[in-house]
Copies of this chain bind each other. A is one copy, B any other.
Amino acid sequence: MKRYLMTPGPTPIPEKITLSMAMPIIHHRTDEFKGIFKETVDLAKEVMQTKNDVIIFASSGSGAMEAAVSNVLNKGDKAITVNAGKFGERWGKIVKAFGAEAIELTYEYGDYAKVEDIEKSIKNSKNVKAVYIQASETSTGTFHPIDEIGLMLKKKYPEVVFVVDGITAYGAIDVKTDDWNIDIGITGSQKALMLPPGLALLSVSEKAKNVISKNKNNYFYFDILGEIGAKAGKFTPAVSLVIGLNASLKMILDEGLDNVFKRHEILAKATREAVIALGLELLSKRPANSLTAIKSPLNISSTNIILKMKEYGVDISNGQGYLNGKIFRIAHLGYFYKPDILMCISVLEMVLKKMGYSANFGEGIKRAMGILLDE
Contacts and interface: CB of A to CB of B under 8 A. Distances in A.
Interface of A: 1-2, 4, 14, 22, 312-314, 335, 337-340, 342-344, 346-347, 349-351, 353-354, 361-363, 365-366, 368-369, 372-373
Contacts of A340: 2, 343
Given A361-B366, A365-B369, A2 B312 contact: no
25 contacts: A1-B337, A2-B335, A2-B339, A2-B340, A22-B22, A312-B337, A312-B339, A313-B339, A338-B347, A339-B346, A339-B347, A340-B343, A342-B342, A342-B343, A342-B347, A343-B343, A346-B365, A350-B369, A351-B373, A362-B362, A362-B363, A362-B365, A365-B366, A365-B369, A366-B366
A338 B366 contact: no
Given A312-B337, A313-B339, A337-B313, A350 B366 contact: no
Contacts of A338: 312-313, 347
Kindly list the 6 A-B residue pairs having the minimum CB-CB distance in the complex, ordered from nearest: A362-B366, A343-B343, A342-B346, A350-B373, A339-B343, A2-B337
A339 B342 CA distance: 9
Nearest to A19: B22
Interface of A is mostly: helix
A369 B363 CA distance: 12
A372 B343 contact: no
Copies of this chain present in the complex amount to 2
Given A349-B369, A350-B372, A373-B354, A339 B314 contact: yes
Contacts of A14: 2
A315 to B, nearest CB: 11
Nearest to A343: B343
Contacts of A346: 339, 342-343, 346, 365, 368-369
A351 B339 CA distance: 12
Contacts of A368: 346
Given A337-B313, A339-B343, A369 B362 contact: yes
A95 B242 CA distance: 57
A253 to B, nearest CB: 15
A372 B353 CA distance: 12
A49 to B, nearest CB: 24
Nearest to A350: B373
Contact of A353 (B339, B343, B361, B373): B373
A58 to B, nearest CB: 25
Contacts of A335: 2
A187 to B, nearest CB: 22
A243 to B, nearest CB: 17
A22 B22 CA distance: 10
Nearest to A361: B366
Contacts of A342: 342-343, 346-347
Given A312-B337, A346-B365, 14 more contacts: A312-B338, A312-B339, A339-B347, A340-B343, A342-B342, A342-B343, A342-B346, A343-B346, A346-B346, A349-B369, A350-B372, A362-B365, A365-B366, A365-B369
